[in-house]
Amino acid sequence: MKIIQLIKKLTLIDFIKGFIVTLKAFFRRKVTVQYPEVKTPLSPRFRGKLALMRYDNGEERCIACKLCSAVCPAQAITIESEERTDGSRRTVKFDIDAFKCIYCGFCEEACPVDSIVETNIFEYHMTENQQRIQTKEMLLATGDQYRDQTIENKKKDSRYR
Amino acid sequence: MLLEIIFYTFASILICASLGVILFKNPVYSAVSLILAFITTGMLWLLLEAEFLAIVLVLVYVGAVMVLFLFVIMMLNIHQEEERSGFTKIAPIAIFLGLVIAAELIALYWIQSDQFSGLESISNSSLSVDNTLLLGTELFTKYILSFEIAGFILLLAIIVSISLTLRTRKNVKKQIASDQIAADPKQRVRMVDIKRGEN
Amino acid sequence: MKELLTSFLSFLDPQWINLIWSLFQIAIVTVCLILTVVFLVYFERKVIGYMHSRVGPNRVGPKGTLQSIADTIKLLLKEVIIPDKADRFFFLLSPLLLLIPALAAWAVVPFSPEFIIADINAGLLYLLALTSFGVYGVILAGWASNSKYAFLGSMRAAAQMVAYEIAMGFALVGVLMAGGSLKLGEIVAAQSGGVLSWFWIPLFPLFIVYFISGIAETNRHPFDLAEGEAEIVAGFHVEYSGIGFAIFFLAEYINMALISVLTSILFLGGWESFFAGISFLETSGFSFLTEPSLFWLLLKTLFFLFVFIWLRASFPRYRYDQLMSLGWKVLIPITILWIGVECVMYVMQIGPWSV
């Protein structure tokens, strides 16, 4: 046994094995995706940037129930509400701190009126610190911008919910 | 002309570096000056076409001895003021010793002045024989006994210093990689069939 | 070229013409080396990328070839930060202390039978002296940075270099016994002939030991404990930025190329062709394949550079005590043993050399 070990050591067998592994990889097909030009397909369940949705008539869905705010594990959502002249309860403030948000999707699941949704947008940035606060207007604008895409994704995923 | 420039440049660097060794307050600076002094000495020996000795000086002193010196100096973090305090006490003895060495060198030059020659002879004398070969033949024929004795003493010094500093600590828990690799699962694990109901 | 220079500057002393000619040769070699490093950085990233099943850099220039030039420009334009409590003199000096020996060692490297800057008698010793000199840059950089991590890195580098220096020296002793000379040109000449007459067969253990200790000397993977990222951040150059860091980088890659070129000169016959001595090729029209030239040296060097990178892609870093025991307890005994074997072979006249 000892002699076999000694021969193994002196002939550097293990090193040669290691070399062969990497050399095989050298000639293997490369798996790199050329990102900005080529993108990997996204699941409809992908959880990206948050948005607020509207009804078809343009009325905002959110009823200020604060369930999303309560369920949020990172406490990223701040909501203030008031009564409108027509008697309905609506938000005056709906802020999401994008730095706190961990994109868990609990808010979307908690929402009774499907107001807050997660789009599959993940390529966005901010240049200043204050911009991390996504206000109600910004969230609604995002929802309007990616409305069709988001609705389609939610439909695809609805079978599994 | 070129030779003179090279010689005087290196000679002045050597003198400055030697002064630096004793005058710098920071021991690291002193050690680096000593390295510079060794290198310039090597350069001067190269001018005398003693390339083997020059390179061996750099190789042994700069490459090995001074590395360990610097290592120790950096690790010890010597307090500079304490080192300086004894300076005035030692200074007269040091100056006296320096004067003695200077006197000896001058006397040597004065007695055997016919054997020394100026810079001109450097450029003219071209020792065409391989320096290393010449030294090797001398050492291994004429001076073989003294060479071997010196080598033996050095070997003895190595063995003694290792045996003085080597202490194996008992009960040290450490992993030995080669033993781990050599481990054979068949000797470590015993598969036992246990029938239901027994034991 | 030299004749042209001599006729052009005939009013000068021949001494001065020699000096100018040497400076000219040095400039050529230095520029070529820097270009080699530029290529090598790209080559390394590409090869490691391929070994990770990636494509490596491919954005800057065609197929990413200008990547290392972009990196260089980035490093040159960065701010040089000198830590407040650092020793300014050595902090600025130590990158140069690493770079200068790395460049100076190339003076004795024979590129082809005709082209060698200084064919000095003790070429091999000169190389040993200069490679050992490089450690000062590392030690002083770590000390001058006045940082714990940098200091630990430089301590590790010092102990490592002293240990592997010895194995390297013993491997070279074997080569000079076989070559019968300290001149690198004569060592290559002693290996003239085909693949079988090179020193790598009779001196195979020394060849492996030399290359391994060369990797350790250049502080490359898997012996780069001086800059172990996981435990001491980046080791001795952690405080350096911009051009200081670039010089450390440059010196490391020049040293890598030096070890590769030396391994091919000392053990693989330098400029000798792989096909030398095959009479079939020499007589037919392919005689250019058997002639010694710079091309073969570059090919062999490139192979060893590839092995350097291959090692980096393949193996994890050594633990420090394992590194030390490998150097002192494995490599040095192997070299001493093989020098003994070589003595016996020399006396028995087995091998490519003659008494």
Which residues from C are below 8 Å from B2, CB to CB? 13, 15-16, 19
pLDDT score, position B97: 92
**For C144-182, what is each residue's pLDDT tens digit?**
888 888 888 888 888 888 888 888 888 888 888 888 888
In chain B, the residue whose alpha carbon lies closest to the alpha carbon of C94 is B32
Beta carbons of B71 and C15 less than 8 Å apart: no
Query: Which of C215, C308, C314, C322 should be substituted to probe chain A, the one whose Cβ sees the most A Cβ atoms within 10 Å?
Result: C314
How many CB pairs below 8 Å do chains A and B form together?
8
More confident: B176 or B11: B11
pLDDT above 80 (res C351): no
Return the SS3 of C352: coil
Query: Model pTM?
Result: 0.81
The per-residue DSSP string of chain A comes to -HHHHHHHHHTTHHHHHHHHHHHHHHHSPP----TTTS-PPPPTT---SEEE-B-TTS-B------HHHHH-TT--EEEEEEE-TTS-EEEEEEEEETTT-----HHHHH-TTS-EEE-S------SSGGGGEE-HHHHHHHHHHTHHHHHHHHHHHHTT-
Domain A50-160, CATH class in plain words: alpha beta
**For C103-148, what is each residue's pLDDT tens digit?**
988 888 888 877 787 777 778 888 888 888 888 888 888 888 888 8
Beta carbons of A30 and C51 less than 8 Å apart: no
| Residue C280, number of CB atoms within 10 A of its CB | 9
**For C279-330, what is each residue's pLDDT tens digit?**
666 666 666 677 777 888 888 899 999 998 998 888 888 888 888 888 888 8
CB-based contact, A16 to chain C, within 8 Å: no
Listed by start position, the domains of chain A span: 50-160
CB-based contact, C284 to chain A, within 8 Å: no
**For B56-109, what is each residue's pLDDT tens digit?**
888 888 888 888 888 888 877 655 556 666 677 788 888 899 999 999 988 888
Which residues from B are below 8 Å from C136, CB to CB? 32, 35, 67, 70
Neighbours of chain A (3+ CB pairs under 8 A): B, C
Sign, CA torsion A69/A75/A79/A80 = positive
Give residues 107 to 146 of C whose Cβ lies within 8 Å of B: 120-122, 125-126, 128-129, 132-133, 135-136, 139-140, 143
pLDDT along chain A (161 residues), means of 10: 78 86 87 86 88 87 88 90 86 89 89 88 87 87 88 86 76
Interface predicted TM-score (ipTM) of this complex, two decimals: 0.80
CA C283 to chain centre: 36
